[in-house]
């Protein structure tokens, strides 16, 4: 079986996303790039019954090479992001706060220094029907220079050098969205960090993540 370890990693990640309340049902999808191939969660397969053999393997044109089921309907989105970035993995989820905030804003301002984890203000990709090339293009553009984005009327996406890195960002993105929503509920102006404050935060986060990697 091609990429057995990566396919099992997809299964484990889907189960973790479900356990953390980041997805509903089979919504959301996960992938890993391995050279010119992509290992991707299958379409409409319950996470609790998914096996490594169910996980799809496709080439960069979307041609399926292995897997008991078709790849996620968001396959065009994943391939578009891989072609445009140096991402090694992608996670896409439908968590409540990020999905809700994507209904009411076009960008999350830099109101929390965690935004530095994503490269700055988090953009909201314009709505397009799921699984379409239009959505793939919109999200790829929103990720330009960023490690995460929201998808209007849909959900959220994070990317990373590998799957643990991409998955680790999802709860932080959901947290940023949750506190932004709570701040908006007050009806008061939301305080925004300056470029200087964000630059300082970025340096601090780089040091923290480097230390965490060394500890790991």
Mean pLDDT of the chain: 93
What pLDDT is attached to residue 216?
41
- The residues annotated with a catalytic role in the active site are 74
Judged on CB neighbours under 10 Å (0-12, 13-18, 19+), 187 is: exposed
CATH number, domain containing residue 172:
3.40.225.10
The more confidently predicted of residues 99 and 209 is: 99
In a domain, residue 15? The reply is no
What pLDDT is attached to residue 207?
60
List the domain range (segments joined by +) for residue 138. Answer: 21-29+75-215
Tokens read off for 54 = 């169910």
What pLDDT is attached to residue 208?
56
What pLDDT is attached to residue 213?
44
What pLDDT is attached to residue 205?
79
In a domain, residue 59? The reply is no
In a domain, residue 62? The reply is no
The more confidently predicted of residues 215 and 178 is: 178
pLDDT digits (tens, 9 = 90+) for 26-46: 778 999 999 999 999 999 899
- Provide the number of structural domains found in the chain: 1
In a domain, residue 113? The reply is yes
In a domain, residue 181? The reply is yes
Q: Of the candidates 196, 147, 156, 145, which has an alpha carbon nearest to the alpha carbon of residue 180? A: 156
Return the minimum-mean-pLDDT range out of 14-18, 120-124, 207-211. 207-211
The more confidently predicted of residues 106 and 24 is: 106
In a domain, residue 125? The reply is yes
Mean pLDDT on 60-87: 97
What pLDDT is attached to residue 201?
87
What pLDDT is attached to residue 215?
43
Mean pLDDT on 135-149: 98
Return the minimum-mean-pLDDT range out of 36-40, 44-48, 161-165, 188-192. 44-48
In a domain, residue 1? The reply is no
């Amino acid at each position: 079986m091609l990429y057995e370890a990566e396919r099992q990693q997809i299964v484990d990640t889907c189960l973790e996303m479900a356990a953390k309340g980041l997805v509903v049902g089979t919504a959301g999808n996960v992938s890993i790039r391995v050279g010119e191939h992509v290992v991707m969660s299958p379409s409409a397969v319950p996470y609790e019954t998914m096996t490594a053999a169910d996980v799809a393997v496709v080439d960069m044109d979307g041609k399926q090479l292995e897997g008991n089921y078709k790849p996620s309907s968001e396959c065009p989105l994943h391939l578009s992001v891989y072609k445009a970035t140096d991402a090694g993995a992608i996670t896409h989820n439908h968590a409540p706060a990020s999905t809700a905030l994507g209904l009411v804003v076009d960008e999350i301002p830099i109101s929390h220094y965690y935004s530095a984890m994503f490269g700055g203000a988090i953009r909201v990709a314009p709505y397009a029907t799921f699984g379409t090339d239009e959505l793939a293009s919109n999200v790829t553009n929103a990720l330009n220079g960023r490690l995460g984005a929201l998808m209007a009327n849909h959900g959220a996406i994070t990317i990373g050098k590998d799957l643990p890195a991409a998955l680790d960002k999802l709860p932080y993105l959901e947290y940023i969205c949750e506190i932004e929503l709570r701040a908006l509920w007050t009806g008061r102006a939301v305080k925004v960090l300056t470029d200087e404050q964000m630059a300082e935060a970025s340096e601090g986060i780089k040091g923290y993540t480097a230390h965490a990697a060394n500890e790991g």
